[in-house]
Structure 1
Amino acid sequence: MRQGSAFDTVAVIDWSGGGDRGSRPCADAIWAGCVRDGRADAPLYLRSRAVAWDWLTTFLEGEARLNRRSLVCFDFPFAPPAGLTRALTGAEDSLALWDLLAARFDDLREGEDRFHVAAGLNALFPGEGPFWFNGRRGDIPGLPRRKPATLPPGLARMRKVETLAPGTFAIWQMGGQGAVGSQALTGMAFLSRLRRRLAGIRVWPFQPDEGRVLLAEVWPSLLRDDVRKRSADPALPPIRDAVQVAVLSQALWRMQVEETLAGALAAGGEGGGEGWILGVGAEDALRRAARVSSCRT
């Protein structure tokens, strides 16, 4: 097993907050890209969160048996803007928020989903609450369809890292083009369960970089130009999500080879309790690695 910030495997997972997408690979679903020992696997289509759970737990258990370290990245915020975590948990403890969200999803009744979780969180605040957008036909009490004029007192509009990454969305919007609210709520709950299931998981940048698995937040659009260039690659599925996980996983692996990945991980300390996007603050190194990536397939 490699030590410190060195990894035997780098995986990038493009997440989805929606339901089962069916057996035919498609966009707006869950996709995984993986590089092991410099060899890139073909992007993997995961039709639902249940399928993603089965694949990821099996995969990481297999890596652990082989005494390998894994960097596993997801493209949703690992924490909300300032104020929400403390308001809901009583402390700036993002992992406690993950556990709270997992419990909220566990308590859903038949027919309820992430939009009902958002409505329940809104009920803890005065006014309309921070979360908005209802993707269902029927109204959900407590979840406005339009963006409220103001946020509840004490909540920030965006995280610091999002102000440094133009084009990112805050988690308050639960749906619509580019929105990440559904991905964030379902994703944080998913990772809470993963931490309970598997030993040796650490979460960047909230915990020290040690153990067998390091979870990190990414944003594939940092490499939008490289993704566009690779979109015609016949070795990749003609689906942007699939190209994104391939390009980003290979770039992160190349950063490790070029010894710039540790510096990118160190930048996460700037985010405090709000977390950080891996690659922000190290954009030049990330894009250079994407241009010269030479992972075998």
Structure 2
Amino acid sequence: MASLAGMVCAASSAACFGMLAILGKLAYARGFAPAEILQYRFGLGALLLLVWFAATNRSVLRARPRTILKAAFLGVVLYPVQSLSFMTALKYIPASTTSLILYFYPVAVTLASSLLFKTRLDSVVAMSLLLLIAGCGLVFYDAFLRDINGTGLALATASMLIFSAYLIVLEWLLKGENPQSISFYCVLFAAVVYTILSPPIRFPELDMESKLLTLALGIVPTALAVTLLYRAVELIGSASASICSTLEPITTVLASALLLGEAVVPVQLAGMALILVGIVLPNAQALRLRRP
């Protein structure tokens, strides 16, 4: 079923995107600059996607001029600005605080979709959004107890708003397009932007662990995450995809515990449970309605 496949793609994409804050913090610990991190992320991501599509489906690379123009708008205007805002925010405020702010985008996307695309905002969806907000609040409860840097707060908020607009525009631009073509050229254009801003001249000097970190940035929150997200939006729309994408904070918390040594406390586990219920609730209803 298309809806089930879309939910799986959205959840998988969320898990991959949830690793971005962790990998970003690890990169900062190794002395990387924000634009440098994003150059490795998009540069290696574009290269990996090029090799993959050249070997498996070359039709993806043979995009029409209008497809290239759409990807250029996403990859030069929206995506790089959103990514730089998020990555720079990580310099000023904790990853959990940055993530808390970003993960309010399902609310913005769902409300905007109801206005622009006449997406129905019924009581089930409203309850789902409340559960997601409560779950995120519990997952990142410690963020409320910390002093928040004004610059970091502004950058994280900008990242959330731009990403919300990005998903709305993406749903409109994907009509009649191959999502894989759009995703590849979007990442390619973002790679060009950051290669100009921060040429990878330090790469030969990096130690093996740093090089593996750059490879992880290209694979996990980029090549995999972007392709899966575009497919999910095509199958179930931006509103449903954004609701499923709230799995990101669960990934972030678990990865923080495993890779950064941060503790996971019972209240955060309760938040994860609320997030899962909030994701399952509207999508289970959609699956029931679509059964013959």
TM-score of the superposition, structure 2-length normalised? 0.30
More helix by share: 2
TM-score of the superposition, structure 1-length normalised? 0.30
More strand by share: 1
